[in-house]
Structure 1
Amino acid sequence: MSIETAGGVAGWKLIGGLAGAGAIGAGLAAIVVMCLTKPRSTEEWIVGLISTVVGSIAGGAAVVQHFGLQAWADTPTGLVAMLGLVFSCGLPAWAVVRWLFNYINKRGNATIDEIAREIKQEIV
């Protein structure tokens, strides 16, 4: 094994392997979302951070699984591509959570039947 290979393996172990790469993608997505859509409160910041990280990791894993991209983990270039995929999956997560909570807050006094009727009318 060459020194470069050993250094690469050590670096890979240092960042936590594939989990570390996913965490990097999730963290970067969270930073981008937070910079573009400033939180209105500390609570919203926490929800945004959690939503983005979970969206990155779970969404990225779902996309990798759905399209059978596990072989990407075998090469450095594939890992970079996977990092980008995980990053991309986290970007819309906070927006979706924000829209959902805004919808729920606007209809705070409505019953579940009224909300179901409203959603059914919007879909049809």
Structure 2
Amino acid sequence: MEPVSTSGVAAFLKFYGMLIVTTLAIAMVATVVLMMRFPRSPQEWAVGLICTVVSSLTGGAFIIVKWGLHEWITDIWGVIALGGFFFVCGLPGWAIVRWTFNFIDGQEGRTIIDVVKELKKAKDDFKN
């Protein structure tokens, strides 16, 4: 009888190890964000969770692909390091969405021309 292939087991552990680390990183960042900026309503809680998960996955994946960090998936320490990227990228997700919606709420009842003028003014103020 032939022994179990170690390369198959290693590939299995690498895939599921990365899946577990990514899931844990996302769960931790969602917990941190939702505890630091406690939601005011159930809708805000859902938006915060969705934005944190999406920014964590997309930002972490972008960093890993952009700088070719796939090669770190050789042992558990490399996988844990990649999980840190998922964690860090999830932190600003909810804040960016919250700022955007606060700006939109502040423009309620104004015309698009007024909004564009205000954006241009803010851009000019930022340059100076």
TM over 0.5: yes
Q: 1:33 to 1:113 in 2, by over 3 A?
A: same
Give the gaps of 5 or more residues in structure 2: none
Give the conservation status (yes or no) of the 8 Å contact 2:17–2:79.
no
**Offset at 1:90?**
0.2
Provide the residue aligned with 1:43 in structure 2. Answer: 43
Residue 102 of structure 1 corresponds to which residue in structure 2? 102
* Counterpart AA for 1:92: P
- Checking the alignment, whether the CA contact within 8 Å between 1:23 and 1:57 is kept in structure 2 is no
CA shift in 2, pair 1:112/1:21, >3 Å: farther
| Rounded Cα–Cα distance in structure 1 between residues aligned with 2:113 and 2:74 | 50
- The answer as to 2:91 corresponding to 1:91 is yes
Q: What does 1:76-87 align with in structure 2 at a 5 Å threshold? A: 76-87=76-87
- Paired AA for residue 52 in structure 1: T
Cα shift readout 1:96-115 (whole Å, capped 9, x = no counterpart):
11111111011111223322
Task: Provide TM-score, normalisation by structure 2.
Answer: 0.81
In the TM superposition, residue 17 of structure 1 has moved relative to its aligned partner by 4.1
Map of 2:63 onto structure 1:
63
List 4+ stretches of structure 1 deviating above 4 A.
8-11
- Asked which structure has the greater CA Rg, the reply is 2
Question: For 1:42 and 1:70, how far apart are their aligned partners in 2?
Answer: 37
TM-score, scaled to structure 1: 0.83
Give the Cα separation in 2 of the matches to 1:117 and 1:100.
Answer: 17
% identity of equivalent residues: 39
Coordinate RMSD, CA, aligned: 2.6
| Structure 1 match to 2:120 | 120
Provide the rounded CA distance (Å) in 2 between the counterparts of 1:12 and 1:32: 28
**In the alignment, does 2:27 pair up with 1:27?**
yes
